[in-house]
Each structure stands twice: as C-alpha cells, then as structure tokens.
Structure 1
Amino acid sequence: MNITRRTMLVGTGAIALGAAIHTKARAAEFTYKFANNLQPAHPLNVRLQEATAKILEETGGRLQINVFPASQLGNDTETLSQLRNGATEFFSLSPLILSTLVPNAAISGIGFAFPDYETVWKAMDGELGAYSRAEIEKKGLVPMEKIWDNGFRQITSSNKPINSPEDLKGFKIRVPPSPLWQSMFTAFGSSPTTINFAEVYTALSTGIVDGQENPLAIASTSKLYEVQKHCAMTNHMWDGFWFLANKTAWETLPEDIREIVAKNLNASAVDQRADTEKLNETVREELTKNGMSFTDPDKDAFRQTLKSAGFYADWKGKFGDDAWAILEKAVGASLG
C-alpha cells in the first residue's frame, strides 16, 4: 500500500462515510468503540479503518467498530479507565503508559535496549511479547497477539539542538504518564514533566516545556514542527501500541466473531508496522522542509550516562531477574 498524507486523509473520510451508510441500512448486533490518541492520518488509524471495514464485512454486519482518534474520548489516563469499566470496548496504548496499571508492561521500553526493528519484532512476536501479554491479562484486559508500531523515539526542542547527554541537563521535557520515562530523563539530569498527549502541542507552544520526545511520524502528523525547531535522532526508546479489549466486551462476542476480529487486527498490525517504518524513514526530509533541523548524536554516550546513573540496575530490580533475563535474551546483549 502506497501511503501518502493525502491518501490517508481521503481514506479516513471514505471509511467513516461507509460506516454511516451501513448504520442506516441495518443496525449491527454489536457496536463497539475503539479509541486512540493519534491523528486520523497516522498509519495506525489508516490500517485500523481497513481492519474495521473487513470485520464489518466478514461478520456479515454483526460487529461494527467505530474509531475515535485524536483522544476524542479523553486523554490516555481517562480512556484507560473507560476501557477497564467497559465504557470503551477497545483502546490502543503504549506499553509504558499501560505500566501505570501493568508495571512490567514497560519492560519493552527500556532506554537503548533495541538496536533495530529486526530485534524489536523478533522480541515482541516472541518470548518478550508473550511475557508482556501475560502480565496484561493478569489485570483483566485482553491484548491482541501482535503489537502495533509507534517507532523509535527522538528528542525535539524549541530552544537548542541536542548533541550530547550534557545538553539534556536542566532541559524541560514533556514525558508521557509513565514512571520509566520520568526515571530515564531524570537520570539525564533533565526536568521531565508528565503531560498527556492531548495537551502536548499547547504545552510546547506556551513554553510550559521546551521539548518532547516521540517518533518522527507523530511529530509530522501532529504538526509538532510548528512549535519545535530542533530534533536529535537519539533512537532512545522503541515504543508500540498494544491493541487492548475490555475482557467482558470481548467475551460477549461469539467465538466466530472474536476469531475474525483477532485475525484482521493482527494482520493490519503487521501492515501498519511496515507503513510506520517507511514513514519514519522518509518524514525527516518533510520535517526539514517545514523548518526543523536535525542532529545525529552518539547514542553510546547516552547509554553510558544511563548506566553510570544506575538506571539499568534500578529497573532490573523493579522488573525482577526473570523478566530482565527475557529482555536481555531478546536484545542479545547485557544492559548493565
């Protein structure tokens, strides 16, 4: 699939219109809501709309999933609460934000753990992903088998380029609501501030924080280049989105519908991974044209700073030896 900004936006409208037409023609047996914090143009929403259209067709119109992007149903913390109480049936969320409920879900986000995508997918489709899903299920949520991609995260700034760990000292940076993010940037000597993504653009434009960190695709689709002028390609963390279901809502669906849903969501997750990787490879040029300048810092210097600050030893203790061993087996190296 050849994805461009235009095709993503046009596709969004087409799927929404199709859903509306179906609703008028015949009410579905089950109508579920899916919420996320990404703009409609993001590959996750594009592929999800394809998946929900296939689910509607393959279930014979019995299940309609309405997509609510861009935090329309609330910020991440609020929507996670809605998912748990059944007000929202489906939600996609970063493992690190999910860690406020499932602490060990954050293990896939350890700083500088993954060197490349090949290592990521081998781990998340393998033992590390299975471990994470088991931890999530203990809290009464149902994760789909395949995790969706957010990408490797980069640091952006409004006031100065980031060339080394020293440039992060005293730096006011927005981080999502997750202890691991707070811990990592505290180890760099930064001043991390927790802000839900729905408020990030405003926080950056008003100077509440000087910078943030996200994959380039989000910097593009959320137009963060309008309020951020510098980007450091640190690849400091890989991040994804678990597709989560409310357990009661999931088990209410007949088995044949659950099989159709899981099949299509997992297939679309794999397609979305390729879309996001491709977009993150090409969007740097687009962001440069929009006025953002780039630096390519030495990643080993950042990793050594974390090691010296006791970051890895601290989190090994929090996750436990068994979980840490699964992580190190997945990434093929000692993390300190």
Structure 2
Amino acid sequence: MNTKTRAITGVLACSLAATALAGCAAAGASSGGQAAPVAKIQLSIPDPLTSSVGVSAQHFADQVKKTSNGSVVVTVVPNGTSFSGDQNAAVTRLQGGSLDALILSTSVYASIVPEMNAISIPYLFKDTSEEAAFLAGKPGQDLKDKLAKKDTVALSFLTRTGREITNSVRPITQPSDLKGLKIRVPGNTLWTDFFGKLGASPTTMAFSEVFTGLQTGTIDGQENPIEVPWTNKFSEVQKYVSLTNHINDAWVLALSSKKWGTLSADQQKALTDASTETASFKTTYDTDQAKKQLDELTAKGMKANELSASSIEEFKAVSKSLYPDFSKLIGKDFFDQAVAFTPAK
C-alpha cells in the first residue's frame, strides 16, 4: 500500500470511528434518561370531540406535547368506542391496564371509591369555583390517594357546571313538580335516593339509550350539566329545561398505574403539569359556554326557567334530610370532611 492510499484509509477510519462514537454517545444519552423514548398514550373519553370533555381532552393532549417537548404523544379516542360505551367496564379496564388513560365522571368511579360520592352531595357547593377549590385541596388529594390504591393514577379533577333537569311534561319550579316523573339518572344510589325523595321515579339506563328513551316516552326527562342536552340535541325530544343546579360532579383525568410505570420522571411531570393547566382551562371554558348553550337550546324551542330562592331552599331541605343516608353511602369520616370544607349555604 503506498503512502497516499494509507493516508486516505486513515482518514476514512477516523471518520467511521467518530461516527460510531457519536452514535454511542447519543445512545448513552437516551439510556441515561436525558432523551427518553417517545411515549404514546390513548386517552379514552365517553363523549364526542365537540363536547366540553372532548375539547378539554384535546387541550390536554396539546399541552402534553408542549410540556413534554414531544416526548409524550396523547391521542384522544372519543364516543366511548374503546370501551363499547360501558363506563363501569372502562373503570375496570383502566385498573387492569388494558386502557392507557381515561376521562370519566366521578359518579362512575364511586363504584370503586365510595367517597367520590361526596362531590355530588346535592347543593354542597354554591358554584363551580367552590367545587374547584374542594377538588384542588385536601379532599381532592385524599380521593387521589384512594384511587391510587385501585391501580389508578388520578392526574387531576376537571369540574363540571351544575346539573339541570330537562323533561317534556312541565317546568320544574319546586320539588313537588317532579312527582311521578320518570327521570333518567346515573346508576348511583345517591342520585336514586335524592330523586326518589323528591317524588320522582328515578330510572337508570345507559346514557347511549337516553335520547331514544326520551323520544319514545320511556322516560320523561333526564338531568345533566347544560352542555349534555346541547351536545346530544335533546331539544329535539325535550320541552323544558329547569335550572335547578342540584348536583355537581366532576371528571377524573387518570392513567392506569401500569402505563404510568412505563414513563420517565420527566414524562410523568409533563403529564401532571398539563393536567393541572387543563383543569383550570375547563372550569373557565364551561362557564363561558354554558350561557351560549342555554341560549341555543331555547332558540330551538326549549323553555327555560330559574328557581326562586324559596324553591331552592326546599330542594336543599330534601338533601339535608338524606344526610344520614349519604353519610353511610360515602363513609362518615369523608362525609364529615366534605360538609366541613363546604358548609351548607
């Protein structure tokens, strides 16, 4: 080999060695945790992307992209398609790890953590801001700790506006107006006890069946935050919307413990930070949207009515008469903590 050939060969060898060293350095940085592999998370929700929870879920996905610098990618799966619309099954699947992440109502999680029902004690909160303080405070942390024991990592609670009653028989201006009305409620004892005490005939059914039930007269009405009749076009099958604001519940934004355990510490922090920001976003978003949605429902023919202060006191009195039952349902310690945090107004 002549001198020129040896020189060229030496240059090539050095170049290849430098490339190999750079590759090893990059691999070392990745294995050292500085650039963890991209984590992909499917976030399942029960409602359409256009709903409040759909908008909030996508907002969370966008925030995660920012807070994680692209190391976590969240894809929203709407309409309950990943759990065939069975919300109780969704909770079980999240615990088992066959669902990555889920946003679902606290009323559903109450089946595994009864203390969740405390959020929905009728007329516990005077407004959504008070509910947000409750969920961001010690009661909310205690609930997260209880979920953690069920293989569920609750990143944050997302508030909902107060629940209102719609029906096709008459306006609800006082408790006696509910007598005999078949009102669809979630499959939760707190709801059935409260509406039964009000004189209604509480009827549980899967939410996917509610529109048809209202259309055929199987049920007379339902109760939900105002965005639910707006999103699901209940104005086509309901005449009245009564602004009772009788119960608050919330959404739980959670990951399975199994999925959580696959993430780096930086990725976990990115998700937590994004969820906190999303909780604040949703409270503001819902407040801004509620009036617009009510206006649209009335524009489509629904008749809205507010309750007098004396009528609200009648509803509150019914709730308080059930406190001994609610205490047993929730557990005395947490029930007392909830009532003490937010004294009855």
Q: What TM-score does the superposition give when structure 2 sets the normalisation length? A: 0.83
In the alignment, structure 1 residue 72 sits paired with structure 2 residue 85? no
Query: Where does residue 315 of structure 2 map in the other structure?
Result: 302
Distance 1:254 1:160, change over 3 A: same
3-state SS, counterpart of residue 252 of structure 1: coil
Query: Contact 1:35–1:92 at 8 Å: present in 2 too?
Result: yes
After the TM superposition, which segments of 4 or more aligned residues of structure 1 sit over 4 Å from their partners?
A: none
Query: Where does residue 149 of structure 2 map in the other structure?
Result: 138
- Coordinate RMSD, CA, aligned: 1.8
Match among 28, 36, 44 for residue 35 of structure 1 = 44
Query: Where does residue 13 of structure 1 map in the other structure?
Result: none
Query: Where does residue 178 of structure 1 map in the other structure?
Result: 188
Query: Where does residue 57 of structure 2 map in the other structure?
Result: 48
In the alignment, structure 1 residue 91 sits paired with structure 2 residue 111? no
1:59, distance to aligned residue in structure 2 (A): 3.5
- 1:1-336, aligned counterparts within 5 Å? 29-73=38-82, 74-75=84-85, 76-144=87-155, 146-297=156-307, 298-307=311-320, 310-333=321-344
1:197, distance to aligned residue in structure 2 (A): 2.0
1:231, distance to aligned residue in structure 2 (A): 0.9
Query: What is the aligned length?
Result: 304
Q: Distance in 2 between matches of 1:50 and 1:333?
A: 34
Query: Where does residue 16 of structure 1 map in the other structure?
Result: none
Q: Distance in 2 between matches of 1:42 and 1:150?
A: 12
Letter of the 1:305 counterpart? V
Worse overlay, 74-83 or 216-225: 74-83
User: Structure 1 unaligned runs (5+)?
Assistant: 1-27
Letter of the 1:149 counterpart? T
Letter of the 1:326 counterpart? Q
Letter of the 1:63 counterpart? V
1:102, distance to aligned residue in structure 2 (A): 1.2
Distance 1:322 1:199, change over 3 A: same
Q: Distance in 1 between matches of 2:39 and 2:142?
A: 31
Letter of the 2:126 counterpart? P
Distance 1:45 1:170, change over 3 A: same
3-state SS, counterpart of residue 184 of structure 2: strand
3-state SS, counterpart of residue 249 of structure 2: strand
User: Structure 2 unaligned runs (5+)?
Assistant: 1-36
Larger Rg: 2
Letter of the 1:301 counterpart? E
Q: Distance in 2 between matches of 1:42 and 1:269?
A: 15
Q: Distance in 2 between matches of 1:187 and 1:179?
A: 12
Worse overlay, 119-128 or 286-295: 119-128
Distance 1:252 1:316, change over 3 A: same
Q: Distance in 1 between matches of 2:343 and 2:95?
A: 35
1:159, distance to aligned residue in structure 2 (A): 2.1
